Amino acid sequence: MVDYNEYSITLQMKLLYALSAAAVAFAVSYLFYRSIIISMVVSPLGIFYLKYKRKQIIHKRKRELNLQFKDLLISLSSSLSAGKPLEKSFVGALSDLYVLYPSDDAHIVRETKIIINKLSLNVSIEDAISDFADRSELDDIKNFSDVIIICKRAGGNLVEAIKNSSRIISEKIEMTQEIETLLSSRKFEQKILNVMPIAMMFILSTTAAEYIKPVFVTATGRISVTLCLILLLTAYLISNKIMNIKL
């Protein structure tokens, strides 16, 4: 079973990511310092990109799972409305999910099959979904699991509770999708603005070499360039924080 908070990058991909990041670090540092020695000192810092890439992959995988979970909720809600018990609704949901995601590699297809297999081994529905929620650590799946556990223990109207929670969670996920759609153009602008200073440095270096030469040979120029790189990195981190909107 997959723990969605962990991801092991293969050795081949680690080498690819590390070498790519090191090459970018070497090129940018050489562009700003015009020193092979400084560039060679800076380029090994590309190894830290592996940690960032791992977080990025985990975030992307969780986002895909959350979007796919909405389709599971819609199918479950339809089955429950037709009078099917919750356990059998998952079997019907699996057939519906195969229409949307034909491959077994889809996260929600794999998780639905795990839940069905657990139910066939007499594991309770609340334990099966609770394990899924613990491994995913997604608020929407945790909320869905809590609804099932509370209804099973308190003896509430399980069908109505699940239908209502499915509707609310689906609306929340759809709202998140709408926000991401609205931010897509702003994220593209963010990437352009982050790259623009480096592009300007390259243009000045090639078209006005004599004008910009003091930046590379004087102590004041080196300090100014270092401050610029720190500000660029800070701007990149802050802009990522701003664009990362969570409901």
Q: What is the CA radius of gyration of the chain?
A: 25
Contact status, residue 72 vs residue 133, Cβ threshold 8 Å: no
Nearest residue to 172 (alpha-carbon basis) of 144, 153, 205:
144
* Cβ-based neighbour number of residue 112 at 10 Å: 26
Query: Which residues lie below 8 Å from residue 166, measured CB to CB, with a gap of 6+?
Result: 73, 74, 76, 77, 144
* CB burial string 57-66: b at 16+ within 10 A, e below: eeeebbeebb
For the chain, what are the domain ranges?
A: 11-243
Using DSSP's 3-state secondary structure scheme, residue 2 falls into coil
Q: What is the pLDDT of residue 158?
A: 73
Read off the tokens for 26.
Answer: 């070497």
Q: What is the pLDDT of residue 247?
A: 59
- pTM (predicted TM-score): 0.79
The residue type found at 93 is A
**pLDDT per residue of the chain (247 residues) written in tens, 0 to 9:** 788 888 888 889 999 999 999 999 999 899 888 889 988 998 998 888 899 899 989 988 998 898 888 888 888 888 887 888 888 888 888 888 998 898 888 899 999 999 999 998 988 888 999 999 999 988 888 988 888 888 877 766 777 777 787 788 778 878 887 888 888 888 888 888 888 888 988 888 888 888 888 888 888 888 988 898 899 889 888 888 887 766 5
Q: What is the pLDDT of residue 215?
A: 84
